Structures are given as C-alpha cells and as structure tokens.
A = this chain, B = another copy of it.
Amino acid sequence: MTPFTPQSISDNLRRLPLFSGIPPQELVPLLPGVREFKVRAHELLFQKGDTLRGIHMLVSGQVKLFMTTPQGTEKLFTMVKPGHAFGEAVVFLDRPCPVSAEATQDSTFLIVAKDALLTMMDRNPAFARQMLASLSMRLHELMSDMETCTLMNSLQRVVSYLSHQLPESEDPACEIRLDTSKQMLASRLNLAPETFSRALHHLAEGGVIEVSGRTIRVLDTQRLKTFQA
C-alpha cells in the first residue's frame, strides 16, 4: 500500500460525489488531511478490529468489505465502487472496524483524516448534511440487504439481486454484467455457490434469463420480478 504525491489528490477529491457539492476553494483546508494510496489486487487495506485514521474514498478499482467466519470462510458485505466512501461509521464512533477490506482490482483510494473531516463539517454545514445523507443511504442499503437475507428464499434472493441491477429503462429485455465472481455474489446473498448456480439455472430453464459467463441476458424484466418456483 503506497502513499502518493499530493498533486492529483485535489482533482480526485473534487470528483467524488461526497465533495462535488462543495466549492473547490472550500476543499483546500481539507487537503493536508488527505492521503492518496494505490494498492494491487488482493492487497488488504485493513482488517476487522483495526482502528481507522479516517474515511476511505475509492477513486478507481474495486474493494470488497467482508468478514471472516469462525470456520475461516469469508462473508462478503459490499463491493465498493469508485466514488463511494467506506469506513465512515467507524470514524465517527472511534470503534474498531467491524469488517475487513481488500482490493479485488488494482485500486486508488483516498483517506481523509478524521480531524480534517470534523473541522470541515464544523465550517461547512452543507458538507455535514452530505455526510449524514451518505450514512443514511448506507443504512438503507443495509436494511434492504437484511430484508433480502432474512425474508426471502434462495431463488427470491437471486431474483431480487438481479432486479436491483436492472437499468432504469423500460426495455423488457437487457443485459447485466456481474461485477464479481459468482461465488462472491453468492456469499453476498448468503448462499452457497452451488445454490446460486442452481438458482440461475432454474431461471434460465424458466426462460427468463440467459447466462453466459458473467453476462446475464434478461429476456423479460417483468417476468423476472414476479418469477415464482
């Protein structure tokens, strides 16, 4: 994990949704508290139990947040996409981190130091609101995941996941490109890889989707959403 020259930092910061609403000159006092890092795929950013220096913002690449079970297997929580923050909740609570983070692709990310962040919030109420909104969003996503994992059976979970990946368009057919391996997706949906595979097979047999590698062609979005047994 290698820190970087501060040159590009300002640019990267400005492009992140969390900071995009803030006038550039107001970001200046934040800069001394920001570090840029580059990591290779499979590098660990931090581990469950670590204390984080600040919030992390993914600029490019992909990072997975996961827990390790007592039996040594991994349970995936989230795939972080570029532009998104992670580790916010930890920073505001001064608690050890509940998850581990590992790059799944070569990635660039920023760490915004806790102090810098707090001063920024004090000076800039709009930014504080933005932080709140971001955390709230996270909370909603988690609720939704909780709902999926506890209220639905395996097939419904897969259908639910696919439905959420559909683009906004009204098109009855479209293509979804899975952004991770199927075993990771399975873990995220709290399924054994075998079960995930069988669910996709089942949907394909039902004529709702076509699977080829990581590309899933949805033939009828309406039927997908209401698919039973």
Interface residues of A (CB under 8 A from B): 67, 69-70, 75, 77, 88-93, 95, 98-99, 118, 121-122, 125, 128-129, 131-133, 135-140, 142-147, 149-151, 190
Q: 7 other contacts beyond A77-B143, A135-B136, with CB at 8 A cut-off?
A: A69-B151, A75-B147, A92-B133, A135-B139, A139-B139, A142-B142, A150-B190
Report chain B residues within 8 Å CB of A75: 147, 150-151
Binding site of A, secondary structure by majority: helix, strand, loop or mixed?
Answer: helix
Give 23 pairs: A residue, B residue, CB < 8 Å, sorted on A.
A67-B147, A67-B151, A75-B147, A89-B135, A89-B140, A91-B136, A92-B135, A93-B133, A93-B137, A95-B140, A99-B143, A118-B129, A121-B125, A121-B132, A125-B128, A128-B128, A135-B136, A138-B139, A139-B139, A139-B142, A142-B143, A142-B146, A150-B190
CA A21 to CA B142, docked complex, whole Å: 29
Report chain B residues within 8 Å CB of A146: 77, 142, 145-146, 149
CA A93 to CA B135, docked complex, whole Å: 10
Whose C-beta in chain B lies nearest to the C-beta of A149?
A: B150
CA A91 to CA B132, docked complex, whole Å: 10
Q: A139-B142, A150-B149, A150-B190 are in contact. Are A132 and B99 (CB under 8 A)?
A: no
